[in-house]
Amino acid sequence: MGSVGKQYMRAIYERYLYLAAWLPNANLRIGDVGIQQGEEFKQMTTLKDLGIPFRVRKGKDPLEFTYTSGSGVKIQTKLAGELAVGTTLPLGEAGISLRFSEEAGFVFKAVGCLIDEIDNKAALGQAVVTLAKAGMWEPGWAVIDTLVHAESATIVVSNSGSASLDLTAKVPVTLANLANLDTGLSANSQTGEMIQFIAAKGLTPMFGLSRVKQSLLSKFLGDSSGITFGGASTDEPAEASTDETVLEPVAPE
């Protein structure tokens, strides 16, 4: 399971430069502070509880995200009355069949997405540095500063090297409308192990996570070897502690 989650997260990050929530229905909130351990974000506290005020810039223009894991996924669609050889889809119903030939193969479709982010991240970085100087910020902590809210999303991730999912629908369905609520998608059959969210409402499938640069925490906390604040270390001097240079994004391990 861990390997699957890490591969999925890496693929999403390389495509969108956002971390993928794992599991996709994880309860994430902007301003959450915690530790990224492998594929899982573990919330420890919040900026509010730490006394750090912040403003949120709300997204206004909805976006769609569509991504499949390439050759490891085969998608077959059918109209009502058509025969779909190799699937279990009933002749009289429209539907879509997803076939996975690799572990961690996935289909990711999210619609009506709004992106919220913390405004003035330079001020946020300075506030965190102040807490670090006062011994009130743990070296392993990072903060969710960006969050993608999806009106609805279909996310299917294979946990095995061979898996399939056949979905019936009330209307003709393709990858383009696979996450739409009005398609009436329903699982007809499944083989193999997989994680699936079908036209699920209210997911936050991706997020941005930032940490104070390791060199700065080393300076304030006096530990240059034990800081594992997600992502790679930096060779920049500790004096570079102003404005946007304080924070850096956390990438998948």
Domain ranges of the chain: 2-249
Phi-psi sector, 180: left (phi>0), alpha (psi -120 to 50), beta? beta
d(CA 89, CA 179): 19
Q: Which whole number is the average pLDDT over 72-92?
A: 93
The residue ranking higher by pLDDT, 28 or 2, is 28
Structure tokens at 47: 């900026």
Secondary structure of residue 80 in the 3-state scheme: coil
Residue 51: C-alpha distances to residues 64, 65, 130 (Å): 35, 35, 11
Q: Which whole number is the average pLDDT over 83-91?
A: 91
- CA atoms within 13 A of residue 137's CA, in its CB half-sphere: 30
Q: Name the percent of the chain lying above pLDDT 70.
A: 88
Per-residue model confidence as pLDDT tens digits over 160-219: 999 999 999 999 999 999 999 999 999 999 999 999 999 999 999 999 999 988 777 666
- Is there a cis peptide before residue 98, judged by omega within 30 degrees of 0? no
